[in-house]
Structure 1
Amino acid sequence: MSVRHLLTVTAAVSAGTIALAAPAIAQAAVQPSAATGMTSGRLGPTLTALVALIGVVIGGLAVRSAGRTGNGERRALVALGLGLIGVVGGGLFAVTADGGPGTGNGIVGAFAAMVFGLMSMALGGLTLVRARRTV
């Protein structure tokens, strides 16, 4: 088999593959893709989830310092407040979201905000129970 024959067969197979793949490529180009990046629908739930996550961190610090100083109770109250903001805000964003995950409406961030909010409230409540028990 000569090199010229091999190049001809390779070119014919490549052209046939491209011809068969062209409709699939065109169809993929027409279909709308999922929203990427920070859309206006994702900004609010993301910030709410971030606030609730900060509440989880403060709640964790409060649990560690529950019996030692008065800072534990203050941190617990802050964690409870930030957790409440996360649960209520996440719930509102989840109710008003139009689509599911990947649509750019922030439903994943809303559920994350509710989960982090519940964790923050649980840590704050645990700290208050421990602080009151030691007094």
Structure 2
Amino acid sequence: MSIRPLTAAAVTAALILLSAAPAAAATTTLADSYGMTTDRFFATSAAFLGLAAVLVGIWAVVRAGNPARSFIAIGAGAVAAVVGAIGFATAGGGPGTGNGIVGAAIAIFLGLVAIALGARAYTRAHR
């Protein structure tokens, strides 16, 4: 009996195993980044808080008689911006890594917009 078929089978099995292992590792790495991680949850929550603060800030600017709305917009915007800044500073990778860097950037932006709208509404209420 010749050793060639046994050698060919061993080489083929080794090539299949070596080529399948990196594909399986890449699949689990990509699949992990699409889920809701803790960092993404906090960044998304801060972004939604910033969006709510912007809406309250717009409401406060349109109806400039009540300074309480401007305080709510400023306070919620500040919380969103601070949580977003913490999330942005502690993120270990770029977009798509599951670290919430995109949500944190959006939270910072919306928080600053809410602070500006709240400040404008507060100054208009005190004229």
TM-score after normalising by structure 2? 0.76
Match runs of 1:92-107 below 5 Å: 92-107=86-101
Distance 1:28 1:129 in 2: 59
- Would you say how many aligned residue pairs link Structure 1 and Structure 2? 106
Equivalent residue for 1:47? 45
Distance 2:102 2:77 in 1: 17
TM-superposed CA distance for 1:37, in Å, is 2.6
Query: Gapped runs of 5+ residues in structure 1?
Result: 1-24
Amino acid at match of 1:101: P
Distance 2:23 2:44 in 1: 30
Equivalent residue for 1:74? 68
Equivalent residue for 1:86? 80
Equivalent residue for 2:105? 111
Match runs of 1:3-82 below 5 Å: 29-31=24-26, 32-33=29-30, 35-66=33-64, 69=65, 71=66, 73-82=67-76
Amino acid at match of 2:115: M
Distance 1:28 1:113 in 2: 35
Amino acid at match of 1:51: L
* Structure 2 SS opposite 1:105: coil
TM-score after normalising by structure 1? 0.72
Query: Gapped runs of 5+ residues in structure 2?
Result: 1-18
Amino acid at match of 1:74: A
CA offset digits 1:111-130 (Å, max 9, x no partner): 01000001100100110111
TM-superposed CA distance for 1:109, in Å, is 0.7
* Structure 2 SS opposite 1:129: helix
RMSD of aligned C-alpha atoms? Answer: 1.9
Structure number with larger C-alpha Rg: 1
Consecutive aligned runs of 4 or more in structure 1 exceeding 3 Å deviation: 25-30
